[in-house]
Each structure stands twice: as structure tokens, then as C-alpha cells.
Structure 1
Amino acid sequence: MLSPKLTPEELRAKRKQIRLDRKLLIEEKKKQDKRDHLTRELAYGELTYKRYEKKWKKMLLKVALPRMREDLEFAWYNFERVVDCKDFIISLLMDEIKDAEEQYMYNFRAHLDNMDDLMETFNSRLEKLKIAYQSEVKEMKDRCDAELGSMKDMTNEKVNYLKTMLYQLAIARREQVRIKRAEFYSRLDEFEVKNNLLLQKMKAILERKYQNVFNDLKYSVQHHNKHIRQKKEQHDQLKQGDDSMQELIAQQFKQIKKLHDILRILRQKFNDMKQLKGSELLDLQSERQFFFITCLTLKANLQEELKADFDKLAYLSECCVKTFHCLESLNKKGETIMKVAAICRKLETEKEKILPFRSTVASFAYKFFHHLEDEEEPLRKELVMFWQKFGEAYSVYFQLKREKKYLEEENQVFIDSHNNYCDQLTFPTVPNYKVSINKVDGNLEMRKYPKS
């Protein structure tokens, strides 16, 4: 299928569109070249940044390693004292734990004796309750049998009595139906005689009512004429009253005119007073404007102060967060130092334990403690007290946790033994003495005796 021929205008538009597409492709290619160049520059910048960062870290390590080595030597020679103190505290705590275990075993034996006594009393009490229960069940069974026999006798007597009553009621009902039929036929004859008499009476009453209606109509016409005459008299009276009211309205209009003149005079006086007191009003308005402006300025100042306080609070919170992070980093650093010291302590020989401190380490320790005593003595005391209290609290918490776990296990063992003992107990089953009582349906009994 051949494509349709294009007009010259369409050909020019198509060529123009092709040129625009070429320009767009060229611009897009230039932009892509720029993007590639920038990505290469960014990658090269990242590589240079990483290279210089590695060099900077190596330089920092070279500077910091000697100081860290001195700190480790100082900690290594001073950690022995701390370990000796800890060993002494641990020995004291072990003695206390031994005494506590002896006391606990004594209490546990007393508890077991008490539980044995309780179990014996519980068994004796169960035997007594079992004997009482059996005797009570026997008495209830005898009483129930006696009551059941008496109830059967009573129900039989009542059933016989109801049967006789139903038979007598059926006989009385047949007799009553026969009497009602005879009365109905006699009343029907009387009703026909009464209807004839009633028709004659109604005829006389209707004639009398027709005469009364004619008389009422005549009376209503006379009454209507009389009412018209009364309305004419009332119209004359109202006309006289309207004339007097018109005169009164004219007098009131004159009085209103006088009051209007007085009001105009008073309005003129008010304008004069307003001109005289205008300056005072302007002063009051200026004062009001001044107070309004001062109120706005004070409100703006308060908002600025509130914003400044909020900024200070935010800065304070940031400082607190930085402080907490710094303390956490110091804590982690201390933990690493303790681990390294423990490792060094394990690798230390007997000969190295009795060697004196080096002179460089002693001078460094003297400078360090002198610096702490001069600048950070209160902080150091608080930190020492805090870690002492923390260690005591943690030891007490660990002891209580172990004792709680042991008591929970003992409690579970006691519960299991008690449940097993209760499961082994047996009780006699109570027999079910349900006896069905015959019910008498009245409708069913009536159907047995057919109607005559």
C-alpha cells in the first residue's frame, strides 16, 4: 500500500521537526558527556579522599601509639592492687554465702517437718469427713424413699378425684345446652312482637321530630332578623367611637410635632458639646493607640524571649546527649583497658610481679594523680563512689536472683507432689434417685369421654 502524498506545507513541517530532533539529540549527547565527566571527577575525588584518609589514620596511630603504650604500662602495674582487693572481697562474700546456705538448709528442714505434720492432720480430717458424708447420704436416701411413697399415694387420689369431676362436668354441660336451646326459641317469639311495637313507636317519634324541625327553622329565621338589627346598632356605636379616635390621633400628631422640634434643638446642643469635647476624645484615642502598640511590642518581645529560651533548651539537650555519648565511649574504653589488663595479668610471670615500677611510669602516675587532684577531684570521688555502690547493688541483685530461682523450683516440686496426692484420693459416687412422676393432661382426659 503506497503512502499518501504530502503537501508542501507538511513537507516543510516534517523537515523542520527532523532538524529539531537532531538538535535535541546533539544537546542530549553533550549533556551526557558532561555527566560522564562529572562522574569520573567524583570517583577520582572519592579515591583521593580515601587515600588521604588512610594516610591521616596512619599518622594518628604513629602519634597515639606511644601514649597508649605508656597508659597500658601504667594500668598493667596498678591493676594488681585492684585484683587483690577484689579477691579479698570475693573471699568475704563466699564466707557469707556459706553461712546463708547453712541457715537456709536449717529453715528448709523445719519447713519439711511442718509440711509432714500438716499432711497427717489433713489425712485424719479427710477420714472423718468421709465417715460423716456416708452417714448423711444414707439418711437422705431413707428420707427420699419415704417422701416418694407419700407423693405417689397423693397423686393417685388426686387423679381419681379429677376423673369423677370431669364426668360430672360433662353431664352438667349437656343439661345446660338443652335448657339454653328452649330459652332461645321462646325469646325469638318475644323478639318479633317487640320489633312490631318498636316500629310503631319509631313512626310516631319521626312524625314528632319532623314537626319540631319545622318549628326550629321558623324560630331561626326570626332570630336571624333580630341579630341583624343588633349588628346595625353596634355599627352606629363603633362609628361614633371611630370619630372620637380620629380627633385623639390629630391631637397626638400635634404633640409629636412639638417633640420633634425639641429633639432637633437637643441634637444641635449635642453637636456643640461634641465640638467642645473633641480634643479630650482625641487624647483618649491616642492613649488607647499607644497602649495597644506597647502591648503588641511586649507580646513580640515575649515571643522572642520564648524562642531564645527554646533554642537554649535545645542546645542544652544537645550538650547533654553529647556528654552521654562521651561517657559511653569512656565506659567502652575502660572496658577494653580492663580486658587488656586481664590478658596482661595472665601473661605476667612470677618474676615480673615482684619488679618495682619504672621511673617513667612513676613520673607519669604522679603527674596523672596530681592533675586529677587539682582539676577533677570531685568528679573522681563521685565516680569511685558510684562504681562501688553499683558493684554492691549488683552482687545483692545476683544473690537474690539465685535464691528466687531456687525457691520457685521448690514451690513447683511441692505443687506437683500435692496434685499427685489429690489425684490418688477416691470418693464413693452418689447414686441418682430421679423418679418420673406421671402428669395428667386435662384435654386428653376430656377426649376419652365422647360428647352425647
Structure 2
Amino acid sequence: MPKKGKVNKLARMSDEERARYLQHRADVEEEARRRKRELVARFIKNKLDKEEVYARINTAKINQEWRYILRKIKCKQMASDIQGLITSFNFLLERKNRLLNSLMEAIDDSDEQHRRAFQAHTETLSYFLNIGSQRLDKLQVEYEHQKNDFLENWDKEEIDITDNQDRAEFKLTLITYIQDRDFKSLKKEKEIQSATEKNDSRLEHEEEMRQLCKPKQLEIDMYWSKLREVYDIYLEKHNPIMSHYNALREKDDFYQRDIARNEIQIQQATEILTTLQKEWVRTTTTMSCKLNHMNTKKEELAKKYWLMKKETKTAKAKEDEMLSVLVDASQEAIKRLENFETMLQKIKQLADICSKYETDKDHIFLEDVEDDITSADFETLDNDMIEQCKEFKKMDKFLLKMNRVKVQTMCLKTERAKLTKENIQLKQYIKRYLTELALKGGKDRPLSVKCQSEPKIEVNGKLLNRPVTCIEGALSNAVMHEQRLKLQEKKKKELGSVRAYPRVHCW
């Protein structure tokens, strides 16, 4: 009968309801199988965990017993080792004591021997010191006696030496006096003798010179007269020759001067000729260079003319192109300015929208900015310039306002990111909590989360669970949420992404 009722139930359902019902049944069966697998896995896992715990306990007990046995064996070994060490230590201690006693006896004997040796040594030292002191006293006495003898002899010898020295000095003074007297007398005699001899020799020499000069003077006079005669004869013979020689010499000088003058003139003429030749060559070369330069210049000017002609044509074409580009650019500039105008209108609308959400602090801030603008120093400017500057100062106010809005948007974005993170965490926490409740089987669920019984329908006198209809599915929250999102996107496109947010003070 139940199978027949189920078949009748499926037959009465539509295709969509049948599919949903079968899907629901499949989900329920899959959930039952999953729970069964989880129960089996949990049971096996618990059993394995218990086995592992028991195995750990047993291994711990075995290890403990084994360590206890090893400790006993080790204790016995250590006791025997300690006993052996005690006996060996006692034996070594007795041996060391005997050695110490023998060493103490040896030290006592050596100490007694040292004392005896030290006493004998001190006695011998005292004996030798007495002998040395006696010898030193004897030597001191002998030294004093010898010293006194030497001093007496020294005094006697000193007196004798001084007496002898005085006598010798007296003798020397006498000898020097006698020698000086004899030397002076001898010196006078020698001077007188040398003066007489010198005078005699001078007179004799003068007499001899007179006798020698007389015949020689006569010979010199004779030879001088002969020389004058010969010179006069020479002059008489050679005067006409010398006059002719002088005349020839004057002619030669005249001709040489004439030749030199002619050579100078020839040289000047040759120099003038060479300069003229060089000038002619230079003029010819310069003229040829000028002609060549003029020809080249003519060709260059012709080329420049053709180039200028081409450039004018190209410049004209470029100007036409630039004019067309300028026209296009002007059109684009006009369009861009129109776009800017539309953007400014949107910004103005946005400013009007945002002004609704401005607070008292914003108004105070803007008033302070206006006060700063009015208090600006425009003393060095004209009135027109002051007005223009004031107009442009309003842009600073706008930029400040815009920067303030940007800061607020950044703060809102950070707040939004924080809230999204918190939302994700809450979702994960709720999901984990619901999964735990599902695994518990609904026993420990709170009243707010317990599954409520679905409304049942009587079919052939039996209560059956009613599936979800198409209308309920279409009007569900998920479907309505998607529709709402689509409508919001359409509104954004129509408004041009202009949205107003409430002002939030994040600083």
C-alpha cells in the first residue's frame, strides 16, 4: 500500500514538483548515507584512538618493568665495584701512611744532620774570620809604617829639588845677560863693517860703468848717422814709385765703389722683377679662385633657390595639414570643454548633494579658509589682479574640500573593509555553529534554531509534507535580492555613478 500511495502521489504531481520532490528525497538519502559514513568513521576513529592509548600504556608499563630490572642489575654491579674500590682504597691508604712515616723519619734524620753540619760550618767560619782579621790588622800596621817613610822621603826630595831649581835659574839668567851683551856689541861691529863694504863696492861699480859706456856711446852715434844716410837714399829712390802706387790705389778704390753700386742696382732690379712675377702669379691665382668661387656660389644659389621652392611647397602643404589638424583639435577641444562642463555640472550636483551632509565642523573649516583668503596680502598688486587672485583662491577652497572628501572616502573604505572582514568571520562562525548543530542531530539545539515541522497535507487520509511551489520560489529572498541588485545597477548607469554617502567622522 505505501508504494501505491507513493506512486499515486508522484502521478498527481507536475514535472517540476516531481523533480523537486525527487531531488529532495535524493538529498535526504545522501544526507543519511553521509551521516552513516561519518558515524562509522567516528566509531572506527574512536576505537583506534582507544587502541593507541592502550598500546601506549602497555608499552609504558613494559618499559618501566624493563628499566626496573636494568636498574637492579646496575645496582648490583655498582655495589660490587664500590666494594672493590673500598678495599683498594684502604690498601693504598695504608701504603701511603707507611710511606709518610718513613719519610718523616728520614726528614728528622736529615734535619739533625743538617744542624750538626751547620754548627761545624759556623765554627770553621768563625776560626777563619779570626785569622783574617789578625792578618788584616798586621797588614794595616805595615801599610801605615811604609806610608810614613814614603812621606818623609818625599819631603826631603822636594826640598832638594827646589834648591837645585833656584840655583839653575840664577845661572840661566847670568848666561842670558852675558850673551845679550856680547850679541849687541858684535851686531854693531858687523853693521859698521857691512856699511863700509857696501859703499866701497858701489863706488867701484860706478867707475866701471863709466869706463864701459864711453866706447859704446861712440859706436851708437856712428851707427845712427849711417842709418840716417841710408834712409835718405831710400826715400830719394822710392818717392816716384810710391806716388804712382797711391794714384793706382785711388783709381782701384773708385772702380770698386762703382762696381759695388752697379751690383746693388742689379740686385734691386732682380728683386723688383721677382716681386712683380710673384704679384702676377698671385693675382692670376686669386682671379681664378674668385672665378671658381663665384661659379660655385652661383651653383649653390641655384640649388638654394630650388630647395627654397621645394620647402615653400612642403611648408604650404604642412600648413594646410596643420590647419586641418588645428581645426580637428579645436573641435576636439570644444568637445572636451563640453565634457568638462558636464563634469563640472555633475561635480556641482555632487557638491550640492554633499552639502546636505556637511556638519558644523566643515562649515567652520571653510569659514576659516575664507578668512585666510581675505587676510591675504595684495598690497603690491592692482585691483584687477587682486580680484583675479581672489577668484583663483576659491579653487584652493574647492581643493581643500575635495581632499577632505577623499580622506573621508578612504576612511569609509577602510571601515567597509573592516566590516566585510567581520561579516565574513561571522558567516564562518554561524556556518560552523550550524554544522555542529546538524551533526548533533537537533538534540542540543536552541529553540530559535530548532527545525519546525513543515505544514502537512492530507492525501487519501494520510499526512504528507508539502513541497515548495513555483510562486514561493520566485518570491524568495534570494531571487528578490538579485532583482534588487539589477535595479541598482541600472540606476547607477542612469545617474552616471554619482552617489552620496553620509558623512562619517573617522579622525
TM-score normalised to structure 2 length:
0.26
Larger radius of gyration: 2
Q: Normalising by the residue count of structure 1, what TM-score does the alignment of the two structures yield?
A: 0.29
